[in-house]
């Protein structure tokens, strides 16, 4: 984004609250979703960009598993960066839909995978703040972490400087049952305990290419909460070929590895394999690692046994512009909904957009894992 675009955004950012109010209030006049809208989109994804629905979808049909009274949902927001710049109505549509369906989903937490904004500028962060204020005001706990586009002047990743903490503060984390930060009043790395029908869970949000000190801190937090099933969220962890980022083995053949970016010259950067070796594989209570960042098809899955022989499910999801197929409107508002069933063992991963009121049900976006 150049300075001319920045000035344009500055002029339009004041309209962001109105966009959010509109997204949250048009429910009554929205087009009712077709009764079979979930089933209708099953099969191969032959994508043709449809028109967005008018306002929040009313009565969105949910997958059958979401009617399980004992189940609960974790929502995952992949890279929202283009929504903060060009498609500003999409971001609040996502959070407003989650708030409107809080009870239907039994929504217990919302995790962001990073690249919240595109160029680390004030107008973009205002859009992000207003979108997440919806979750905060509805009592929904959430976490944020910086991706590469959230760091450095104009998002150039030459340093770890971010405007995140000027717009979203630890006050926004008070809906968590408990939370802590790696650095005081800095949200780049945080842990959260949150309540579910299956008891409390632990979620850690870790910065893009976490520093060694961050991994040591995270290692201590997870060890102190060894009785809690744990989810780790970071921006860049695995590639679209289903393998972890591994600079020493693959180098630049895996594009966009954290070691390629400007801030890596100062050392202390860890990619997916380094995170696995130094931290994740050492803990039997880490069940999931979630990440975004990667283009190509923007999806990936890897199941690996940790040092205790317990399976860790590692999942990549990204829908931003540049991912194939291009779903329009900066990614079309698609997000992941992880449904933890009443049996405590089955987790269904679904993909939905309240912008289009559509589900993607091809195997890489709609699958089930067993804990």
**What confidence tier does 92 reach under pLDDT thresholds 50, 70, 90?**
very high
Q: What is the DSSP string of 199-219?
A: --EEEEEE-SS--HHHHHHHH
**What's the confidence (pLDDT) of residue 266?**
79
Tens-place pLDDT, residues 52-83: 998 888 788 899 888 878 899 999 999 999 99
Question: From residue 108, how far is each of 105, 202, 304 by CA, in Å?
Answer: 9, 12, 26
* Distance between CA atoms of residues 268 and 213, nearest Å: 8
**Mean pLDDT for the stretch of residues 299-314:** 94
Is the confidence at residue 11, as pLDDT, over 50?
A: no
CATH number for position 112: 3.60.21.10
| Whether the predicted pLDDT of 161 surpasses 50 | yes
- Burial profile 192-226: b = 16 or more Cβ within 10 angstroms, e = fewer: bbbebebeebbbbbbbbbbbeebbebbeebbeebe
Q: How many structural domains is the chain composed of?
A: 1
Q: Say if CB 180 and CB 205 are below 8 A apart.
A: no
Domain of residue 350 covers: 3-44+53-370
Taking the CA atoms of residue 174, residue 179, residue 181 and residue 184 in that order, the dihedral angle to the nearest 10 degrees is: 50
The three-state secondary structure class of 89 is coil
The DSSP line for 157-189 is: -SSS--SHHHHS-GGGGTTSSEEEEEETTEEEE
């Amino acid at each position: 984004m150049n300075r001319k675009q920045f000035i344009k955004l500055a002029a339009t950012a004041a309209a962001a609250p109105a966009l959010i109010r509109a997204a949250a209030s048009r429910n009554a006049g929205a087009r009712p979703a077709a009764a079979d809208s979930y089933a209708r989109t099953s099969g191969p994804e032959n994508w043709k960009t449809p028109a967005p629905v008018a306002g929040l979808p009313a009565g969105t049909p949910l997958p059958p598993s979401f009617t399980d009274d004992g189940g609960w949902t974790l929502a995952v927001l992949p890279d929202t960066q283009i929504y903060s710049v060009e498609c500003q109505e999409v971001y609040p549509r996502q959070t407003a839909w989650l708030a409107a369906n809080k009870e239907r989903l039994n929504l217990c937490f919302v995790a962001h995978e990073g690249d919240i904004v595109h160029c680390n500028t004030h107008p973009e962060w205002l859009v992000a703040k207003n979108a997440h204020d919806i979750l905060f005001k509805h009592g929904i706990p959430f976490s944020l972490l910086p991706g590469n586009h959230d760091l450095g002047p104009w998002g150039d990743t030459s340093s770890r400087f971010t405007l995140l903490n000027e717009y979203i503060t630890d006050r926004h984390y008070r809906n968590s049952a408990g939370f802590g930060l790696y650095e005081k009043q800095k949200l780049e790395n945080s842990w959260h305990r949150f309540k579910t029908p299956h008891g409390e869970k632990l979620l850690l949000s870790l910065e893009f290419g976490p520093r060694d000190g961050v991994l040591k801190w995270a290692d201590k937090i997870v060890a102190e909460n060894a009785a809690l099933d744990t989810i780790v969220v970071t921006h860049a962890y695995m590639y679209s070929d289903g393998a972890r980022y591994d600079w020493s083995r693959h180098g630049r053949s895996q594009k966009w590895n954290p070691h390629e970016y400007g801030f890596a010259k100062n050392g202390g950067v860890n990619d997916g394999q380094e995170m696995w070796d130094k931290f994740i594989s050492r803990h039997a209570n880490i069940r999931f690692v979630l990440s975004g960042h990667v283009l190509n098809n923007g999806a990936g899955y890897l199941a690996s046994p940790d040092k205790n022989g317990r399976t860790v499910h590692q999942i990549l999801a990204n829908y931003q512009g540049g991912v194939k197929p291009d779903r329009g409107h900066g990614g079309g508002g698609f997000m992941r909904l992880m449904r933890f069933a009443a049996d405590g063992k089955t987790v269904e991963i679904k993909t939905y957009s309240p912008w289009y009121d559509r589900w993607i049900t091809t195997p890489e976006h709609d699958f089930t894992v067993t804990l």
